[in-house]
Amino acid sequence: MQLSRDALLKAYRQMKTIRAFENRLHDEIALGEIAGFTHLYAGQEACAVGVCEHLGPKDYIISTHRGHGHCIAKGCDVVDMMKELYGSREGLCKGRGGSMHIADVNVGMLGANGIVGAGAPIAVGAGISAKATGHVSIAFSGDGACNQGTTFEAMNMAVVLKVPVIFVYENNHYSEHTGVDYAVGADSILDRAGAFGMKTFRADGTDFFAVYETMREVIEYCRTTKLPAAVELDTERYFGHFEGDPQRYRGPGELDRIREERDCLKTFREKVTEAKLLDGADIDAVDAEVEALIDRAVAEAKAAEKPKPEHVLEDVYISY
Amino acid sequence: MAIKMIREAILETIDAEMARDESVIMLGEDIVGGNGAPGGPEAIGGIWSTSTGLWAKYGPDRVIDTPISESAIIGAASGAALTGKRAIAEIMFADFIGVCMDQIWNQVAKFRYMFGGKSTCPIVIRMVYGAGFNAAAQHSQSIHAMVTAMPGLKVVMPSTPADAKGLLTQAIRDDDPVIFLEHKALYAVKGDVPDGEYLIPFGHARHVTQGDDITLLATGMMVGFAEKAAKQLAEDGIGCDIIDLRTTSPLDEEAILDSVERTGRLLIVDESPPRCSLATDLSAIVANKAFASLRAPIEMVTAPHTPVPFARELESAYLPSPDKIVTAATRLMSYKRG
């Protein structure tokens, strides 16, 4: 199905926003501007956006420690996210979550998560809610989380309970600093998911159109049957596991090669300009708009109110 | 008012809340039982008889029989609770908290705080705990200390059928995550249960007996042990002020301190081992806030620093008992400053 010009521009804007957000964080972290542990999503943008462009506010997603991209794709406010990462009281989570716990339940984003593999069981519960209203729940996991027992439990539970949960495995080939060929005992993440009794799908996670068209089919299937499914998206991670990771485990020239040959933004640009769906000027305009948004987000985040010591006590309970 | 067992009070409370609010769902292993077996659904009806008949009444979308997957049970319950349901998760034995600790400790307890107060997760995690059935080291433990230590959770330990009803109703309607601990040896205990709607707010201890000599703090099965001991001590003219904490988080500090300020002596009975425990926590609070009132060192009757053993003789040696409470109380009364 042909995407409208607006839909194409929106998808590109989402991917570009994630890239610019992450690139800027990479720089700001190096300058010592941002505290804590941060895991950047740059390189994987086509996955989050190719999935979330099909979702509405009543569909739920849960993310991972590498969660900024999923947040942006699901509609979290970018300025509020930046404020959160700067530890501001005005941040999306009032400066109490930070990078690994950034969330906005109001837009159906049930949180980044500092515990690898913790999201999939929670996504099953969101799927119980989604099932009643004809929506779906998405558990984003990496190739590391696919080895956690919680993920196995969640897949089996989703099949047994017949819940429309989609387990999206973004395979960026590295579980932290360890290669996927070592850490995943089976030949394929997807074959293992299929063995739990669910339908499986595969797409090139560096090609927005491949992800988007595959997810159209997956989501239609899950909404109609109210059954789970698993998707493996083959993708690339540009930065290290965490910011500061020297990536010594990479092969010679590997990072240059994936940036040259597997960049989802470049691929998008080539495809839409060759097909004359958008021209270069359209894309350049989005780039400029997004860079200005990120500049503004950083400026506002730096100026935003910091929490006071007494705020440490807030929101542990609703009433106590 | 009607006489009921604790397990009946729990079943009837869940039933009443499911009837009242269709967002209430229940999940757990064998809470239906018999699914996929020749006997068919409800062949068991919950191994503790606390869910019997609910599946037939409310259907499989609300009474959800799960595989043996404690992490996924808590995760599914919390995910549903984050997205509009009120979820009751049953963990068949509290000892299995080891399997699902991440979902309780790192997820459920912390969502609201981490998410800047923008989420609610109304989940009740019912866990069956306690010794007394020779079920040994992995099916007998009292795990209240570890969950009481977790900010973000409320922890409830009913000891009577009336309290089971009032506290469970409050737990299901509460918007914060609640750990609801049901002692397996108390399920058949009978008592008066109020008819109709009955809620007990958290953080309000129950004054079980009045006495002027010793403050006796207890929870769960230890409350009955304390009552037995108090009867014996009364024959020697020693009056016990027994306080059933009902909830360990929030804690009714006021009731504890008021009593200690009156009696000047504190004896804590705790079914769990002594280190970093409820007993040591209560001791620290009293030592810190009512030091001047104390006429003797605080006494604690607890399990020893061992796993729960199997053999009858060993389990008896492990558990606090009315006799052990009497011995400690007598020692407390005879204390003289050197």
The pLDDT tens digits of the residues spanning B195-226 come to 999 999 999 999 999 999 999 999 999 999 99
Q: Is pLDDT of B338 > 80?
A: no
Residue B74 to residue A124: CA distance in whole angstroms: 10
Tokens of A212: 């988007």
In whole angstroms, give the CA distance from residue B174 to residue B154: 10
Residue in A110, A137, A317, A319 to test binding to B, most B beta-carbons within 10 Å: A317
**Cβ B121 vs Cβ B79: under 8 Å:** no
Task: List pLDDT tens digits, range A101-141.
Answer: 999 999 999 999 999 999 999 999 999 999 999 999 999 99
Residues B16-39 as b/e (b if ≥16 CB within 10 A, e otherwise) read bbbeeeeebbbbbbbbbbbbeeee
Burial of B289 (0-12, 13-18, 19+ CB in 10 A): middle
Q: Are B111 and A111 in contact (CB < 8 Å)?
A: yes
Q: Is A91 on the interface with B (CB under 8 A)?
A: yes
Q: Cα distance from A153 to chain B (closest Cα, Å)? A: 6
* Residues found in chain A: 320
- pLDDT band, residue A2 (cuts 50/70/90): confident
What integer pLDDT is reported at residue B44 of this predicted model? 81
Residue B207: active-site member: no
Amino acid letter for position A134? G
Q: State the pLDDT at residue B225.
A: 98
Q: How far is A101 from chain B (nearest CA, A)?
A: 6
- Across chain B, mean pLDDT equals 97
A121–B25 CB contact, under 8 Å: no
* pLDDT (average), residues B304-328: 98
Q: Is A6 a residue whose pLDDT tops 90? A: yes
Q: What is the mean pLDDT of chain A?
A: 97
Nearest CA in chain B to A150: B71
Determine the pLDDT at residue B43.
Answer: 84
Q: For chain B, give the number of residues.
A: 338
- Tell me what pLDDT residue A281 has: 97
Q: Please tell me the distance from the alpha carbon of residue B168 to that of residue B193, in angstroms, as a whole number.
A: 13
Residues of A in contact with B61 (CB under 8 A): 128, 131-132
pLDDT at A36: 94
Q: What is the DSSP string of A111-124?
A: ---SSTT-HHHHHH
Helical H runs in B149-244?
Answer: 161-173, 221-235
Q: Tell me whether residue A141 is exposed, middle or buried, using C-beta atoms within 10 angstroms of its C-beta: 0 to 12, 13 to 18, 19 or more.
A: buried
Query: A130: which chain B residues are within 8 Å (Cβ-Cβ)?
Result: 83
A138 touching B (Cβ < 8 Å)? no
Q: In A, residues 16-35, which contact B (CB 8 Å cutoff)?
A: none
CB-based contact B51:B43 (threshold 8 Å)? no
Q: Is A114 on the interface with B (CB under 8 A)?
A: yes
DSSP string across A65-118 = SS-HHHHHHHT--HHHHHHHHTT-TTSTTTTSS-GGG--BGGGTB----SSTT-
Parallel, antiparallel or unpaired: strands B154-156 and B178-183: parallel
* Three-class SS state of B203: coil
pLDDT digits 0-9 by tens, A190-242: 999 999 999 999 999 999 999 999 999 999 999 999 999 999 999 999 999 99
Mean pLDDT computed over B90-118: 98
Beta-carbon separation of A129 and B79 below 8 A = yes
Out of B69, B102, B114, closest to residue A93 by CB: B114
Q: Which residue has the tokens 């997810």?
A: A215
| Closest by Cβ to A125, choosing from B75, B119, B250 | B75
Domain ranges of chain A: 5-303
Mark yes or no for CB contact A318/B118 under 8 Å. Answer: no
**How many Cβ atoms sit within 10 Å of the Cβ of residue A40?**
26
What is the Cα–Cα distance from A27 to A149, expressed in whole angstroms? 36
* Smallest Cα distance from B162 to chain A, Å: 22
Shortest Cα distance from A126 to chain B (angstroms)?
A: 5
What mean pLDDT comes out for the span B49-53? Answer: 95
Question: Alpha-carbon torsion A6, A12, A15, A21, what sign?
Answer: negative
Size of interface A-B (CB pairs under 8 A): 154
Q: DSSP character for A248?
A: T
Tokens of A77: 């406010």
Interface touch A104/B87, C-beta < 8 Å: no
pLDDT of amino acid B46 = 87
Please tell me the distance from the alpha carbon of residue A40 to that of residue A67, in angstroms, as a whole number.
8
Joined together, the tokens standing for residue A177 give 């600093």
- pTM of the prediction? 0.97
* Whole-angstrom distance, CA of residue A66 vs CA of residue B5: 50
Q: A93 vs B66: CB contact, 8 Å cut-off? A: no
**With an 8 Å Cβ cutoff, is A314 touching chain B?**
yes
Contact A85, A26 (CB under 8 A): no
Q: How many CB atoms lie within 10 A of CB A185?
A: 7
* Interface touch B76/A157, C-beta < 8 Å: yes
Per cent of chain A over pLDDT 70 is 100
- The rounded distance, in Å, linking the Cα atoms of A256 and A250 is 11
Residue A202 identity (one-letter amino acid): R
Q: Which residue in B25, B64, B152 is closest to A316 by CB distance?
A: B152
Find which of B26, B58, B71, B248 to mutate to test the A interface (most A CBs within 10 Å of its CB): B71
Give the model confidence (pLDDT) of B323-332 as tens digits.
999 999 999 9
Residues 149-188 of A with CB under 8 A from B: 149-150, 153-154, 156-157, 160-161
Query: In this predicted structure, what is the pLDDT of residue B337?
Result: 82
Whose CA is closest to B248, among B136, B140, B129?
A: B129
Kindly provide the residue ranges of all beta strands, DSSP E only, lying in chain B, ordered along the sequence: 2-5, 24-29, 63-66, 86-91, 123-129, 154-156, 178-183, 190-193, 206-209, 214-218, 240-244, 247-249, 266-270, 299-302
**Is a pLDDT exceeding 70 seen at residue A1?**
no
Q: Which amino acid is at A182?
A: Y
Q: What is the pLDDT of residues B27-38, one digit of tens each?
A: 999 999 999 999
Residues on B contacting A at a C-beta cutoff of 8 Å: 25, 61, 64, 66-67, 69, 71-85, 87, 102-103, 106-107, 110-120, 151-152, 154, 175-176, 203, 250
Q: How far apart are CA A217 and CA A221, in angstroms?
A: 6
Whole-number percent of chain B with pLDDT over 70 = 100
- The span from the CA of B328 to the CA of B311, in Å, is 25
Q: Residues of A with CB below 8 A from B72's CB? A: 121, 124, 150, 153-154, 156-157
Q: Please name the residue of chain B whose CA is at the shortest distance from the CA of residue A87.
A: B116
**CA–CA gap between residue B179 and residue B219 (Å, rounded):** 14
Separation CA A42–CA A38 (nearest Å): 12
A contacts of B103 (beta carbons < 8 Å): 118, 121-122, 150
Mutual orientation of helices B161-173 and B6-20 as an angle, nearest 10°? Answer: 30
**A contact residues 191-230, partner B, Cβ 8 Å cutoff:** none
Strand-by-strand arrangement of the B299-302 sheet: B206-209, B240-244, B214-218, B266-270, B299-302
A87/B contact by beta carbon, under 8 A: no
Query: Which domains does chain B possess?
Result: 2-193 (3.40.50.970), 206-334 (3.40.50.920)
Which chain A residue's Cα is nearest to B24? A129
Q: What is the pLDDT of residues A27-39, one digit of tens each?
A: 999 999 899 999 9
Look at A128 and B76 and tell me if their CB atoms are within 8 Å. yes
Q: Residue with structure tokens 């299995």? A: B96
The residues, any chain, with a CB within 8 Å of residue A296's CB and separated by 6 or more, are A79
Which residue from A93, A127, A319 is facing B115, i.e. has the nearest CB? Answer: A93
Q: In angstroms, rounded to a whole number, what is the distance separating the alpha carbons of residues A269 and B275?
A: 63
Out of A118, A128, A160, the one facing B85 most closely (by C-beta) is A128
Q: State how far residue B14 is from chain A, nearest Cα, in angstroms.
A: 19
Choose, out of B86, B111, B114, B248, the residue to mutate when testing the contact with A (most A CBs < 10 Å): B114
Distance, C-alpha B150 to centroid of its chain: 15
B5 Cα distance to chain centroid: 16
Report CB contact under 8 Å: B82, A125. Answer: yes
What gap in Å lies between CA B168 and CA B159, rounded to an integer? 12
From residue A286, alpha-carbon distances to A133, A186, A280, B67 in Å are 35, 42, 10, 49
Please determine, looking at this structure, whether the domain spanning A5-303 carries the CATH number 3.40.50.970: yes
